């Protein structure tokens, strides 16, 4: 019995494995997945892995990125990575939908949660904002599934992300694709791919609060 089973914690990677096995047995056309992406580095492994099985529409929707130049730079890196993957031509083609840049929405939802540390309630609201828009798009495109790259980050609560995804799946009537991409060295692979494709890797999550936390951490770290 593995640790997750012993602790009665759901293993979302195993759930994804089972689902992929079932899709392979069922055969037919590749299923359409709308994959929310936070940035090119996090998406690098997720796309390498999932584009073997799914026709993917990447949805770049991140109003949490407070600084516009940072936001634009991350979008361009996302597009560059997708173009490079598509040029290889060894998997299903990936397309991208760029969501609106609406940082006011994030600032509104974070009111009263300014002092919340990274990983707390503000992040849960931030996840929900981005996943809800992804579910909306998946419904509009009549996609088979929706998911997010966010579960690759060791700093993000994969259980919470999956719980929110499952809740939205019920509201929008689009199946949620369970994931915990950091398992099986997904995060490590994303670091390797980022180096291989020379991707810009930011040192903070996206909002002004996370940037301030990152600066504080850097100041505490001795040379």
**Contacts with ligand SF4: how many residues (CB under 6 A)?**
10
Q: Count CB neighbours of 82 within 10 A.
A: 22
Cβ 99 to ligand SF4 shortest distance, Å:
15
Measured CA to CA, the distance from residue 156 to residue 153 in angstroms comes to 5
Which of residues 138 and 205 has its CB atom nearest to ligand SF4 in the complex?
205
Binder of ligand SF4 out of 118, 132, 163, 167 (CB under 6 A): 118
Which residues between 26 and 45 bind ligand SF4 (CB under 6 A)? none
DSSP letters for 159-199: HHHHHHHHHHHHHHT--B----TTGGGHHHHHHHHHHHTT-
Listed in sequence order, the DSSP H helices in 65-207 are 68-88, 103-109, 121-140, 158-172, 186-196
Residue 64 lies near ligand SF4 (rule: CB under 6 A): yes
Cβ 68 to ligand SF4 shortest distance, Å:
15
Which of residues 122 and 182 has its CB atom nearest to ligand SF4 in the complex?
122
Give the residue among 129, 123, 173 at the shortest CA–CA distance from 153: 123
Do residues 118 and 101 make contact, with C-beta atoms less than 8 angstroms apart? no
Residue 209 lies near ligand SF4 (rule: CB under 6 A): yes
Do residues 145 and 175 make contact, with C-beta atoms less than 8 angstroms apart? yes
Binder of ligand SF4 out of 31, 74, 122, 133 (CB under 6 A): 122
Cβ 92 to ligand SF4 shortest distance, Å:
29
Binder of ligand SF4 out of 40, 42, 81, 123 (CB under 6 A): 123
Question: 3-state DSSP helix/strand/coil percent for the chain, to nearest 5?
Answer: 55, 10, 35
Handedness of CA 74, 75, 78, 84 (dihedral sign): negative
Residue 205 lies near ligand SF4 (rule: CB under 6 A): yes
Residue 178 lies near ligand SF4 (rule: CB under 6 A): no
Residue 74 lies near ligand SF4 (rule: CB under 6 A): no
Residue 60 lies near ligand SF4 (rule: CB under 6 A): no
Binding site for ligand SF4 (CB under 6 A): 64, 118, 122-123, 126, 205-207, 209-210
């Amino acid at each position: 019995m593995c640790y997750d089973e012993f602790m009665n914690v759901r293993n979302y990677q195993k759930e994804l494995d089972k689902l992929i096995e079932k899709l392979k047995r069922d055969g037919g056309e590749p299923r359409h997945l709308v994959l929310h992406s936070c940035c090119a580095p996090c998406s690098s492994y997720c796309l390498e892995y999932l584009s073997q099985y799914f026709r993917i529409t990447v949805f770049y929707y991140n109003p949490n990125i407070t600084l516009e130049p940072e936001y634009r730079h991350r979008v361009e890196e996302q597009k560059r990575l997708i173009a490079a993957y598509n040029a290889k031509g060894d998997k299903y083609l990936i397309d991208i939908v760029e969501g609106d840049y609406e940082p006011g929405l994030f600032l509104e939802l974070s009111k009263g949660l300014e002092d919340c540390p990274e990983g707390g309630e503000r992040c849960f609201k931030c996840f929900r904002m981005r996943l809800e828009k992804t579910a909306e798009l998946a419904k509009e495109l009549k996609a088979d599934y929706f998911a997010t790259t966010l579960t690759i980050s060791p700093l993000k609560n994969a259980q919470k992300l999956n719980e929110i995804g499952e809740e939205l799946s019920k509201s929008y009537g689009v199946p949620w694709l369970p994931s915990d991409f950091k398992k099986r060295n997904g995060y490590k692979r994303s670091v390797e791919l980022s180096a291989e494709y020379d991707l810009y890797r930011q040192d903070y999550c996206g909002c002004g609060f996370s940037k301030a936390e990152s600066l504080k951490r850097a100041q505490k770290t001795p040379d």
